Amino acid sequence: MDGAPRPPRPAATLVVVRDAAVGVEVLLLRRAERGDHNSGAWVFPGGLLDAADHAAHRCCDGLDDAAASARLGLAEGGLDYHVAAIRECFEEAGLLFARRPGAAALVELHGEEAQRLAAWRGPLHRGERTLADLCDATGWRLAADELVYFSHWLTPPLRIKRFDTRFFVARAPAGQDSAHDAAEVVEQRWLRPADALERAGELKLMTPTRKTLEAFARFDRVDALLAWARQPRTVPLVMPMIGCGRDGPRPVTPDEPAYAELARLDPQCHGHHSYEIEPGVPVRLSPRLIRVSADNGSVMTGPGTNPYLVGGGPANEWAVIDPGPDDDAHVRAVAAAAPGPIRWIFVTHTHLDHSPATAALREATGAVVHGRRAAHPEWQDPAFAPDVELAGGERFALHDDCTLRVIHTPGHASNHLCYLLEQEKLLFTGDHLMQQSTVVINPPDGDMAAYLASLRALLAEDLEWLAPGHGFLMARPREVIEAVIAHRLRREAKVVAALRDAGPAPADALLARVYDDVPPRLHGVALRSLKAHLAKLRDDGAAVEDGAGWRLAGG
């Protein structure tokens, strides 16, 4: 993986699916052992585009190059990918997506005709004949319109072989039997996606194959799968990052928490950064920014609380945002990670996983503590005593090129503050926004209406990154914030529906229905947020609490 990135070669893959008694099945082929990264892998039919594929445009049915290119986001040549996918599927699996002249159905192949067609596979593979030749000889048309564009994958930089691959999905042709070519492919199986994933220890599955199987596992019938794939949707380019960790180097995909941070720190995919939060290990996120996570992971804190070191500059002075839990080893790790003296401490809020280490760190460094006291004592750090009480709106220049602006964001806690590192458009979110989880809103200090108002206020900020109190750096802040708002409003709608059907009722009687998508072991925590939703509805005039419990206003 050393050297300059190699240019990727265009390729196409065709995922063939069929209905079976057990549900949707996909055709998987095992690659021959060739001593490369893909040797022995179970894959879908596919391979590189060939120069001759363009000549088969005139043989395609139901789709021209303009329409195919528009769907793939190309100026031209989109139909080449469809032709290549059809060719590779025929060469490797013996399935041909073609029609007889004037027919709507795909060709069925039996007896001598099937044998004659099979004789084309070798010459096509060796480049001695083309699909255009086959169509001229048979009079058939290639059923390019049967292929539905599904996904787009790019091999990471520095890999020896790089591919820019378009994935298509199509229903298996009726009246044709698949047969692997016994050359590039040495075995085939029709499997349910879920079964293939369960056997991942036995079947070598490359990342695009595994992620495709995960997507297909949601569907019970081919019609539903194809209807979803055909709907208007954006097909993003996916390039896995390479990270290191307990499982060794491996690809990391966009649905994983570490993806955006790895793309920021290691865009060439050298694999030097971790896909795991490692307690006590300093992570340099930029010249101005270092993260040192605490070893307090739990169901409430995720992988642990993140103190951040911010600063540097000519004087090499640093601030700590959220010192974390009161743990001697952790405090020592934060102090040791600072490249220079710690002059300031900034606290987002005073819950017990964020601020208690403040006292020990202030004693060790003499840093000036900035923060805000909570309005209610429950679940708070009683020892927190800021030297500078913040209201929101303050700006602190740690050096000429490193400025923090304070934003008051009540909701999760009455005293919650976010800090904007203006030069990087990066927001330290504390618990206002978390990765892979929504935060608990616990009245009376927590307030759902205030929380939603704070989120909406952040939409007016020019943000590029979020640095959460738990988890990795997060990209696309506006999308994250809008998704959280939408989630909270969907939950509120479920509360209203539950009140309509079950009210009047106490909050705990509504819990199982409103949080039916949350494991019962977390219902105790969810009850706090449910009470916050009910309080918001009460304050909005939409719900009433009386001796019988909660009900809709006017009901």
Question: Is 462 inside a domain boundary?
Answer: yes
One domain, residues 454 and 522: no
- pLDDT on residue 1: 43
One domain, residues 435 and 524: no
CA–CA distances in Å: residue 244 to residues 270, 275, 276 = 10, 6, 8
CATH number of 320's domain: 3.60.15.10
Residue reference for tokens 């994250």: 480
The tokens for 2 are 């050393």
Question: Is 411 inside a domain boundary?
Answer: yes
- pLDDT on residue 555: 67
Q: Of 416, 444, 475, which residue constitutes the final position of a domain?
A: 475
- pLDDT on residue 38: 75
Q: Rounded to an integer, what distance in angstroms lies between the CA atom of residue 209 and that of residue 527? A: 40
H helix or E strand, kind and range, residue 226: helix 222-230
One domain, residues 59 and 189: yes
Q: Rounded to an integer, what distance in angstroms lies between the CA atom of residue 548 and that of residue 317? A: 59
Question: Is 4 inside a domain boundary?
Answer: no
The tokens for 334 are 């934060």
- pLDDT on residue 241: 97
For residues 426-444, b (16+ Cβ closer than 10 Å) or e, as one string? Answer: bbbbbbbbbbeeebbbbbe
Alpha-helix runs per DSSP H in 272-366: 328-337, 358-365
Query: If 0-12 CB within 10 Å is exposed, 13-18 middle and 19+ buried, where does residue 531 land?
Result: buried
- pLDDT on residue 35: 66
User: Could you list the residue range(s) of the whole structural domain that residue 548 is in?
Assistant: 485-552
H helix or E strand, kind and range, residue 42: strand 42-43
Residue reference for tokens 């220890």: 201
**Amino acid residing at 136:** D
Read off the pLDDT of residues 503-528 as tens digits, 9 standing for 90 and up: 799 999 999 999 999 999 999 999 99
One domain, residues 78 and 225: yes
Q: Rounded to an integer, what distance in angstroms lies between the CA atom of residue 37 and that of residue 352? A: 47
One domain, residues 271 and 305: no
Sheet with 402-408, edge to edge strand ranges: 395-399, 402-408, 417-421, 426-430, 465-468, 474-475
Give the three-state DSSP class for 536. Answer: helix
Which parts of the chain register pLDDT below 70?
Answer: 1-3, 35-36, 555
Q: Rounded to an integer, what distance in angstroms lies between the CA atom of residue 468 and that of residue 307? A: 10
- pLDDT on residue 503: 75
One domain, residues 374 and 244: no
CA–CA distances in Å: residue 202 to residues 22, 247, 482 = 21, 17, 41
CA–CA distances in Å: residue 50 to residues 84, 127, 134, 537 = 7, 9, 15, 62
- pLDDT on residue 464: 98
CA–CA distances in Å: residue 549 to residues 285, 531, 546 = 50, 12, 5
One domain, residues 155 and 199: yes
- pLDDT on residue 160: 83
Question: Is 296 inside a domain boundary?
Answer: yes
In DSSP terms, 319 is beta-bridged to 310, 344
CATH number of 531's domain: 1.10.10
One domain, residues 493 and 409: no
Phi first, then psi: what are they for 261, rounded to 5°?
Answer: -65, -40
Question: Is 392 inside a domain boundary?
Answer: yes
Q: Of 453, 475, 497, which residue constitutes the final position of a domain?
A: 475
Q: Of 276, 302, 323, which residue constitutes the final position of a domain?
A: 276
One domain, residues 105 and 196: yes
The tokens for 209 are 């194959």
CATH number of 199's domain: 3.90.79.10
Mapped to the 3 state alphabet, what secondary structure does 272-287 carry? Answer: CCECCCCCCCCEEEEC
Closest of 53, 54, 44 to residue 13, by C-alpha: 44
In DSSP terms, 284 is beta-bridged to 290
How many domains does the chain contain in total? 4
Alpha-helix runs per DSSP H in 250-406: 259-265, 328-337, 358-365
Question: Is 2 inside a domain boundary?
Answer: no
CA–CA distances in Å: residue 230 to residues 26, 63, 169, 227, 535 = 18, 14, 10, 5, 43
Residue-level length of the chain = 555
Question: Is 514 inside a domain boundary?
Answer: yes
One domain, residues 308 and 406: yes
- pLDDT on residue 547: 86
Q: Rounded to an integer, what distance in angstroms lies between the CA atom of residue 5 and that of residue 158? A: 5
Alpha carbon 548 to chain centroid, angstroms: 44
- Note if the pTM is more than 0.75: yes
Using an 8 Å Cβ cutoff, are 167 and 208 in contact?
Answer: yes
Question: Is 203 inside a domain boundary?
Answer: yes
One domain, residues 190 and 301: no
One domain, residues 255 and 291: no
